[in-house]
Amino acid sequence: MDLLNTLVEKGLRRELPSREEALAVLTTSDDDLLEVVAAAGKVRRQWFGRRVKLNYLVNLKSGLCPEDCSYCSQRLGSEAGILKYTWLKPDEASKAAAAGVAGGAKRVCLVASGRGPTDRDVDRVSKTIGAIKEQNADVEVCACLGLLSDGQAERLKAAGADAYNHNLNTSESTYGDITTTHTYADRVETVRHAQGAGLSACSGLIAGMGESDADLVDVVFALRALDPDSVPVNFLIPVEGTPLAGEWNLTPQRALRILAMVRFVCPDVEVRLAGGREVHLRTMQPLALHLVNSIFLGDYLTTEGQEGKADLDMIADAGFEVEGAGTATLPEHRGGGGCASACAPSDSAASDSAPSDSASSAGAEASSARTDLVTVRRRGAGTDLAPNA
């Protein structure tokens, strides 16, 4: 297929594909799916070999968020029956993080619900980072605390944080349909705060919220322009009690096409398979390893993932290997930071979206909802039960 040959060549050169090419990946047929995966897999192996980086989430503070993000079970007014608790103490968070590290995680992601941290919250998290680093000096720590104010990113960096996560989630044009209590521009500003402080930026998206193909391409092109080091791709987990509980718009095949498109647009970036993989990829998860080079191990913030041992078995059975603590994740030319002019998008990246299939076309191909695969987390952080790692 000429399209795939072109995309592979561009990916190996770190050259931005056109919007039309990115859109075309999303509209390939199921008959061509293995060819799409194989092509994107060539790009993945060029920059990351067969390594898979493991990441582990620790939910420092769960529920009772004042923001109204429609996809989130912790949102203002959520009726989801999730765990609700205030800040974990540093030793509690360190203990939870240690379980993930013991399971093979190279990075621990510290997440707290809320609009953004107060200065006191930054102090709390700084102490938690110190406690984790004291027990596991080599582990990467990524903070995800919401919108940052001036100087907060610098304080987190000084405390030992390696990275900061703040996702764009969806396209700028549709952001107001998902969230009204803050703006898309607020999110972009926070990612830039993190980059300005010398933190490795982590920013990604959520697919399956009813967006169109053009929206998906818009947000991925925006991420390419923002140039984070890692791009987590989440697939909406429609949790009962949230406004998007009825949005079941994904099939395993569509999820794989989305991951392939992200890899072609962001060839040398850590693409992380994040929330919702078990719900939407299901038995096709091993194929996704040919597209991504990073996954979350174990459970998520408010829902449960598959058993940590199953993750490790899947990686080994698919012929991949867990990335060791002493191995650099990013290609040498990125140097742990941005890829500067070599990866800068062309002027065409800033153009308006090309016409595309509407969101309903994605929903039309979705299979029956697998609500049985959505399980609220009842173990790990905030409970007396052992975490899943």
What residues act catalytically?
A: 65, 69, 72, 109, 142, 202, 272
Region for 250 from its dihedrals, namely left if φ exceeds 0, alpha if ψ lies in -120 to 50, beta otherwise: beta
In angstroms, the Cα distances linking 282 to 153, 265, 366 are 37, 25, 13
CA distance 389 to 101: 8
Distance, CA of 213 to CA of 354 (rounded, Å): 10
Q: Are 287 and 255 in contact (CB under 8 A)?
A: no
Distance between the two ends of the chain, CA-based, in angstroms? 41
Say how far residue 386 (Cα) sits from the centre of its chain. 24
Q: Per DSSP, what are the bridge partners of residue 272?
A: 232, 294
Kindly give, in sequence order, each residue whose CB lies less than 8 Å from that of residue 159, ignoring residues fewer than 6 positions away: 125, 126, 129, 130
Q: How many CA atoms lie within 13 A of 313 on its CB side?
A: 5
d(CA 280, CA 248): 9
H or E segment and range at residue 273? strand 270-273
Residues linked to residue 57 through DSSP beta bridges, in sequence order: 109
Q: By the 8 A CB rule, do 370 and 258 touch? A: no
CA distance 126 to 156: 6
Q: What would the two tokens of residue 8 be?
A: 């592979």
20: Cβ–Cβ under 8 A, 6 or more apart, which residues?
354
Say what the alpha-carbon torsion angle 117, 55, 42, 316 is, to the nearest 10 degrees.
-170
SS3 content of the chain, % helix, strand, coil (to 5): 40, 15, 45
